[in-house]
Amino acid sequence: MINKENLHATDYSEQEQLRAVLKNQKPIVFWFTGFSGSGKSTIAKAAESKLQSQGYHTFVLDGDNVRMGLNKGLGFDQEGRRENLRRVAEVAKLMTEAGLVVLATFVSPMIEQRNMVKEIVGASRFREIFINTPLEECESRDVKGLYKKARAGEIPNFTGIGSEYQAPSNPEIEIKTKDQTVEESVDELIEKLIPLISNG
């Protein structure tokens, strides 16, 4: 067992500031939350492309990709889900310390989970983005066929079916996708993101 008394954090604060200056941007974590199928990943990836075309240094942390790699050993019970998000938050924090703008797309259904992420990342570098798409709309899309499996009992505790989703009461950014195209959603998002990351 590792003795925590033998561990000492290294102070990289000066290097963090220099990296941000070199990249000419404000490092920040944009945390996308919403039902499965709401469009979180699609919007985040499209937004990343637009940001990169304008010279910003970004990275998309996607829920499925993390589950298939870093966190593939974790379960989908409450404990496993919380640990999944805790690890992601630590990774996102490291990325901001490297000077990056992070777009993290995770259902993260519980307010407590998102508050935990905010605490780990740091309130000044965390912005919650609510991709507000009604459950019935997400289920009608069912891009991955997950809702069909959940309704058939093949996926227990699926968010919105067997498990609750606690919507943000006061998100920094809210994108309502039901009555607009992906392009319109991305344009609206970019307009709100640029002032938050620009040093100009």
How many Å apart are CA 188 and CA 166, to the nearest integer?
24
- 36 known member of a binding site: yes
- 76 known member of a binding site: no
- 39 known member of a binding site: yes
Query: What stretches of the chain adopt beta strand conformation (E)?
Result: 28-33, 58-62, 101-105, 126-132, 173-176
130 residue type, one letter:
F
- 169 known member of a binding site: no
Is position 108 annotated as part of the catalytic site? yes
Residue from 25, 23, 29, 55 nearest 200 by CA: 25
Instruction: Note whether 114 and 33 are within 8 A (CB).
Output: yes
From the list 53, 108, 140, 185, the catalytic residue is 108
- 41 known member of a binding site: yes
- 69 known member of a binding site: no
Angle made by CA atoms 87, 92, 94, in degrees to the nearest 5: 100
- 35 known member of a binding site: yes
Q: Which residues does the annotation place in the binding site?
A: 34-41
- Residue ranges of the annotated binding site for ATP are 34-41
Tell me the catalytic residues: 108
